[in-house]
């Protein structure tokens, strides 16, 4: 079983954009379908799919599908089986991993208390809208220009959480 993000770092199809003590941003690209990958999320993460389809199956039998142009928000501690399905010969996703401290800081900034209930979804899907796409392009540029700029990237990851919170219209249940 793959423990994400640690085991992803050893895969040849994964490019590391950022790897600091509290943040990790990876790009994963494959040309062929990869089915039935088991994983355990050791950190909270967001997956932004830019090509192909990423389908997740959960222990309770439910599924979640991310198409190109969508993003998924996933809490740590989640066990999944996933299928990476290439479209026209390519699957591509950017994976952003958050520490507990970053999520706690975000929740403190927005004065929210984490809620967990029977009705809280395991994970959620949102469109990777224009603001998210611009944010992602900026992060790629920063990584190229500044490399491992820890504080800058931690600030950018908090910015993404704020963008997603605004897109969810103030709800905090999905993935947090």
Structure confidence by residue, pLDDT tens digits, 55-90: 999 988 999 999 999 999 999 999 999 999 998 899
According to the model, what pLDDT value does residue 34 have? 95
According to the model, what pLDDT value does residue 151 have? 81
According to the model, what pLDDT value does residue 63 have? 94
Q: Which long-range contacts (CB under 8 A, 24 or more apart) does 134-139 make?
A: 135/159, 135/160, 135/163, 136/48, 136/94, 139/17, 139/18, 139/25
The fraction of the chain above a pLDDT of 90, given in percent, is 52
Of residues 167 and 35, more confidence is placed in: 35
* Secondary structure (H, E, C), the chain: CEEECHHHHHCCCEEEEEECCCEEEEEEEECCCEEEEEEEECCEEEEEEEECEEEEEECCCCEEEEECCEEEEECCCCEEEEEEECECCEEEEEEEEECHHHHHHHHHHCCCCCCCCCCCCCCEEEECCHHHHHHHHHHHHHHHHHCCCHHHHHHHHHHHHHHHHHHCCCCCCCCC
pLDDT band for 173, please (50, 70, 90 cuts). Answer: very low
For the chain, the average pLDDT equals 87
According to the model, what pLDDT value does residue 154 have? 84
Say what the pTM is.
0.89
- Tell me: the pLDDT tens digits for 146-171? 877 778 888 889 999 999 988 887 55
Lowest-pLDDT range, 6-15, 38-47, 110-119? 110-119
- Tell me: the pLDDT tens digits for 1-10? 678 898 899 9
According to the model, what pLDDT value does residue 1 have? 66
């Amino acid at each position: 079983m793959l423990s994400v993000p640690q085991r992803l770092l050893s895969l040849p199809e994964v490019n590391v954009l950022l790897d600091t003590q509290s943040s990790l941003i990876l790009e994963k690209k494959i040309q062929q379908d990869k089915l039935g990958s088991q994983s355990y999320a050791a950190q909270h993460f967001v997956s932004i799919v830019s090509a192909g389809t990423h389908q997740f199956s959960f222990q309770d039998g439910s599924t979640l599908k991310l198409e190109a142009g969508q993003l998924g928000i996933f809490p740590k501690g989640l066990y999944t089986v996933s299928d990476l399905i290439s479209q026209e010969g390519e699957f591509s996703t950017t994976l952003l991993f958050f520490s507990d401290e970053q999520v706690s800081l975000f929740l403190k900034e927005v004065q929210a208390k984490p809620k967990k209930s029977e009705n809280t979804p395991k994970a959620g899907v949102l469109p990777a809208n224009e603001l998210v796409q611009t944010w992602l392009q900026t992060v790629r540029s920063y990584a190229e220009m500044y490399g491992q700029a820890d504080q800058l990237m931690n600030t950018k990851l908090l910015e993404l959480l704020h963008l997603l919170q605004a897109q969810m219209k103030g709800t905090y249940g999905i993935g947090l």
